[in-house]
Amino acid sequence: MKINNGFNSWNTPYLFQAMEDTMASFTEEQRARIISLGIGDPDIETPAPIRRRIMQEHREVYHGYPTAQGRLDLREAISKYYQNRFNVQVSAREVFVGSGAKTDLFDLNAVFSRPGDSVVILDPAYPVYRDAALYRGNKIVYISGTLANRYQPELPDETQLHDLALIYLCYPNNPTGADADADYIQSMIDLARKHKAMIVMDIAYADFVPGNTPSSAFSIFQFPGGDEVGIEVASFSKPFSMTGDRISWVTIKNPEAARFWHRYRANRDSGASNYDQVGALEALTSPEVKSIVHENFNTYGRRARILKDGLDTLGFQWTGLTNTPYAWFKVPGSDDIETARKILEEVGVILTPGSGFGPAGRGFLRATVFQPESRLEEAISRLKRFDFESA
Ligand code: MLT
């Protein structure tokens, strides 16, 4: 058997798969006791009108293959979304419906970079950017986010770049919850233009606003030069609890880049399921869904408060919980993987080790709001019993 060399550079299993495997190793009784604040998978169910619409479509309409680019009605709804949300003109032609942001983020690397090209990756970040680059054989250049630079790391040293192909950014940021300043994004766009590179802007959390606080999210197409170098990746997963449906979109305004992506998508897969696309259309257009999501965000806001208060009492410095479902916090010691393991073993709480998001995540843990209030309170009281100092 011959295996793609890219596999060899994945020296650890996929972060969330490793956590799932650990869970599977416990008995059912042990699992019932465990409180998972690990993977970002909403526990509040998909709004009923979305589910009804998907079921109705299944009952009444037979669909053969979807189109590679996605249904026109959904792409038109996404153009309207851009207009209303960001005051940006995007035509349906520039929108590509996908089967989940994770797949899109991985595949974009295959189209817009070559082995050996430099790929700049925000650190810490969603591990898929790194895994795609390793698989491709890119030269990864991490730019390290810290509390001090508010997770807007300095631009890379340009002497280290060898044919810069891609810059992966994510704001509001997973895992840190950080926002970006306009001049920071502009400097990234200028860098990409200078090197004829593209920016993959992951906006999976643009519409996830616990407590319905005013969101600081933006679209890369609001910035001068954004049309030329921007590739925006968005997801229905978190705001609409649609992680199980696998539905996302990619927006590309650069016509040449859009042509390449379209061609790749048509050759590579047959498009997102029509049924999920119909559900996504309902998500964007139904007033009833809008009010359910508003209510859900109020719930997430109350949960975020519990985590904030708990982390304050524990004396940890934390970020996030305003524009993302995550709390990101520094714990004593630097071996976050070992600390997370001990927390699970001793008090039965799953937290994601920061190192899984990149070298700059070392010494941090991430917690989600995706548990009911009583479970979050219980998780905090268990963490208070845990001896962080000697972990
Ligand atoms: C997370 O950061 O929890 C991700 O959204 C999980 C994933 O998509 O693999």
Cα(179) to ligand 1 centroid in Å equals 18
Structure-block tokens of residue 368: 């989600």
Instruction: State the pLDDT at residue 7.
Output: 81
How far apart, in whole angstroms, are the C-alpha atoms of residue 130 and residue 6?
Answer: 12
Instruction: State the pLDDT at residue 12.
Output: 74
Burial of 293 (0-12, 13-18, 19+ CB in 10 A): buried
Residue with the smallest CA separation from ligand 1 atom 2 is: 40
Instruction: State the pLDDT at residue 203.
Output: 98
pTM of the model: 0.95
Burial 251-290 (b: 16+ CB within 10 A, else e): bbbbeebbeebeebbeeeeebbbbbbbbbbbbbbbbeebe
Instruction: State the pLDDT at residue 390.
Output: 81
Instruction: State the pLDDT at residue 84.
Output: 97
Residue of 126, 247, 365 to test ligand 1 pocket, by largest number of atoms within 8 Å of CB:
126
Q: What is the DSSP letter of 23?
A: H
How far apart, in whole angstroms, are the C-alpha atoms of residue 198 and residue 194?
Answer: 10
Of the candidates 360, 289, 2, 323, the one whose C-alpha atom is nearest the C-alpha of residue 146 is 360
Torsions phi, psi of 68, nearest 5? Answer: -60, -35
Please count the CA atoms within 13 angstroms of the CA of 343 that sit on its side-chain side: 27
Q: Strand 118-123's sheet: what is its strand order?
A: 95-98, 248-252, 230-235, 198-202, 164-170, 118-123, 139-144
Instruction: State the pLDDT at residue 13.
Output: 75
- Which atom belonging to ligand 1 lies closest to the Cα atom of 175? 2
Its sign, for the CA torsion 113, 116, 122, 123, is positive
Residue with the smallest CA separation from ligand 1 atom 4 is: 40
Instruction: State the pLDDT at residue 161.
Output: 93
Q: How many helices (H) and strands (E) does the chain have?
A: 14, 13
Burial of 219 (0-12, 13-18, 19+ CB in 10 A): buried
Instruction: State the pLDDT at residue 6.
Output: 84
Residue of 102, 236, 369 to test ligand 1 pocket, by largest number of atoms within 8 Å of CB:
102
Question: For the CA atoms of 277, 47, 234, 175, what is the dihedral angle to 10 degrees?
Answer: -150
Instruction: State the pLDDT at residue 284.
Output: 98
Using CA atoms, how far residue 266 sits from 8, 37, 92, 97, 102, in Å, is: 29, 37, 17, 12, 18
Written as tens digits, the pLDDT of the chain (391 aa) is 888 888 888 877 778 887 778 888 888 888 889 999 999 999 999 999 999 999 999 999 999 999 999 999 999 999 999 999 999 999 999 999 999 999 999 999 999 999 999 999 999 999 999 999 999 999 999 999 999 999 999 999 999 998 999 999 999 999 999 999 999 999 999 999 999 999 999 999 999 999 999 898 999 999 999 999 999 999 999 999 999 999 999 999 999 999 999 999 999 999 999 999 999 999 999 999 999 999 999 999 999 999 999 999 999 999 999 999 999 999 998 899 999 999 999 999 999 999 999 999 999 999 999 999 999 999 999 999 999 988 7
Instruction: State the pLDDT at residue 10.
Output: 83
Angle between helices 373-385 and 336-347 (to 10 degrees): 110
Instruction: State the pLDDT at residue 166.
Output: 98
Q: What is the DSSP letter of 357?
A: G
Instruction: State the pLDDT at residue 95.
Output: 98
Instruction: State the pLDDT at residue 47.
Output: 98
Angle at alpha carbon of residue 129, lines to 320 and 227, rounded to 5°? 85
Structure-block tokens of residue 142: 């991490």
**End-to-end C-alpha distance for the chain, whole angstroms:** 43
- Which atom belonging to ligand 1 lies closest to the Cα atom of 128? 9
Residue 123: beta bridge partners? 144
Answer whether 176's CB lies under 8 Å from 149's CB: no
How far apart, in whole angstroms, are the C-alpha atoms of residue 102 and residue 246?
Answer: 9
- Give yes or no for residue 174 CB within 6 A of ligand 1: yes
Cα(237) to ligand 1 centroid in Å equals 10
Please list the alpha-helical segments (H only) found in 87-155. 101-112, 127-136
ω into 175 cis (within 30 of 0): yes
Instruction: State the pLDDT at residue 389.
Output: 87
Q: Beta strand 352-353 with 230-235: parallel, antiparallel or unpaired?
A: unpaired
